[in-house]
Structure 1
Amino acid sequence: MREVTLTDLFLHPITQKFMQRSGVAHALEVTNHAFHLAFKYNVSVDMATKAALLHDIGHYEWYRQGKWDYELYRENDIHAIKGAERAHKLLIRLGENPRIAKQISVAILLHTDSYLPESDIKRSPLQKVVKLADEMDEEQGGNHHYKEIDKLTALKKIQKLDQLVDQYLPKQQLHLNTHEKTI
């Protein structure tokens, strides 16, 4: 049984507030991609989907003269740092296992290179999944953050993903445990 569901996270006022900045539709697409990528990279579907859902909750709105300024954002943004912090605090507050909350938060921290000095980072499989899932939904000029979805449709998509996670997580854990014993 999971401590915290995607629905718990999605409906929380903190998530709702900050997800509006980065785009609910984008967060849902990334979450869906992460669910599927989790199998390829042998990563917990629970952790992958939670990290993906929360990956952009650190976004700050970069405006110049009342208009969104994508270049200003690209030059100054550190949303992954702020998002990792917010996600960790939220997950702990909702009762997530602290070790899992940390892994999810670090995956959020490393989902983008936009704020990092140039370097080769060795990402864990979970961190790769979140980064790849985000990249799969990217659009030119940050347009992926402006796709629209109504609240009811978004909630239904989250609830469907929760059902899928609940369905596959026990099978996945059994596979991981069996795999560990054979090593």
Structure 2
Amino acid sequence: MVDSLGDSLDRALEKAFTRPAPKSAQAQMKYLVKQLKGTKAAAQTLGISQRTVERYVTGKLKRPRPELRVRLEREVKKRWQPQIRAKAKQKAATTNGLVVSTRARFGFEAAAGTTDDARIRDITQALPPEYADQLFTAREQGATETQLRQIAADGLARMYFRAANTRAHGLDVEFTDVERLDIEL
């Protein structure tokens, strides 16, 4: 399965971390309990009992089931180093932008009579800060994967296919069948 654009944004932000997130289940659980201000809130977030959370915190339980391990890791990373994460977002949204590297099917809607059939392309393209800002804002507001991909498609259309809007005016890009998708800040 291909990662979603949202997952790629999260991974890009994780590269900005200055310290590694806790690795053991006990350390992760302790961190989550501290962040959520209690075992009850941690239990609700993870979908397990409060007693199970307490057992992980005290070290009586050490190895979570695979699905709990994934949820625990995701919840910890989501909350890890929020100031570093915010600075990385701010920098991407105001000065640096981001780089999208993808292998996907791109098709076009253009003037009648053109032969712009969809085909698989490998593209690595820097997008300006406004697209980083749009992607992060949409992600925070709960945008769907389709909406995030449309923002990325608009950015790729402008910068790659229309050469910073210097040619191919009116060309709309369709971004489908994603095989690989990586984002770098």
TM range (shorter): under 0.3
Q: TM-score normalised to the size of structure 2?
A: 0.25
Greater C-alpha radius of gyration: 2
Q: Looking at secondary structure, tell me which structure has more helix per residue.
A: 1
Q: TM-score normalised to the size of structure 1?
A: 0.25
- The one of the two structures with greater contact order (alpha-carbon pairs below 8 A, sep at least 6) is 1
Q: Looking at secondary structure, tell me which structure has more strand per residue.
A: 2
